[in-house]
Homo-oligomer: A and B are copies of this chain.
Amino acid sequence: MKFKPPIIAINYKIYPQAFGESAVKIAKSAEKVARETGVTVIVAPPLTEIYRVSREVEIPVFAQHIDPIKLGAGTGYTPPEAVKEAGAVGTIINHSEHQLKATDIFKAVNMAKNAGLYTLVCADEPEIGAAVAVFKPTMIAVEPPELIGTGIPVSKAKPEVVTRSVELIKSVNKDVIVLTGAGISSGEDVEAAIRLGTAGVLVASAVMKAKDPYKIIYDMAIKGLKALEKQA
């Protein structure tokens, strides 16, 4: 699998729309956009919905979290093998709503790799992004938590956070794919994110709460492509 920019990763979180038929419907909209535009669209449903969603779509399904724990006695925890078996091809790690100890991020990245999963590590500060870049995940998303869920896009409110993240992360590890997130609500925000040097975005509420998720994902994809073309 290749994660070719522009990348739109949709974190379902645990919004009411993240479950059951609605979970599948949003994934199918994402898949439709991916097919129509060639853009990389990733969906990350809740742990309990990975199996259902991954049966229905062919775009990459990520878990929202894994626990860096071995198979065996670990009641209620979710090792990388669990999400892989349910159909995920990757996992978010250290989302700002589910942060881990530094050493557990490292373990989770390694255990995910060993289980054959791609990794998307979140960072709430540019420096955290640079720190986790040492662990060589597939992707890093820098998201200032104070903007998450606000609809105020990081690319507008704090463009310097985005450019500084890219710079700091690349100075430690030039191969990692850098995303940004927090408040990303429209195609325009995706465009800005790419102009600031990232490969794409991590979005949540804007898609999950949308009346028409297809429409907003499509808009993000098209504007993302446009921004990339301008760079070329």
Contact = CB atoms under 8 A, between A and B. Distances in A.
Nearest to A81: B19
A44 to B, nearest CB: 8
How many chain A residues sit at the interface, stated as a range, is 35 or more
Nearest to A82: B48
Contacts of A112: none
A64 B96 CA distance: 24
A13 B73 contact: yes
B135 A69 contact: no
Total copies of this chain within the assembly: 4
Contact of A128 (B74, B83, B102): B102
A47 B52 CA distance: 12
Q: List 9 A-B pairs, minimum CB-CB distance, nearest first.
A: A65-B76, A131-B131, A64-B76, A75-B95, A102-B102, A48-B86, A75-B97, A76-B98, A19-B85
B101 A16 contact: no
A26 interface: no
A219 interface: no
Contacts of A128: 102-103, 106
A203 interface: no
A100 B101 contact: yes
9 contacts: A20-B85, A65-B76, A73-B149, A75-B92, A75-B95, A102-B102, A106-B131, A127-B134, A130-B134
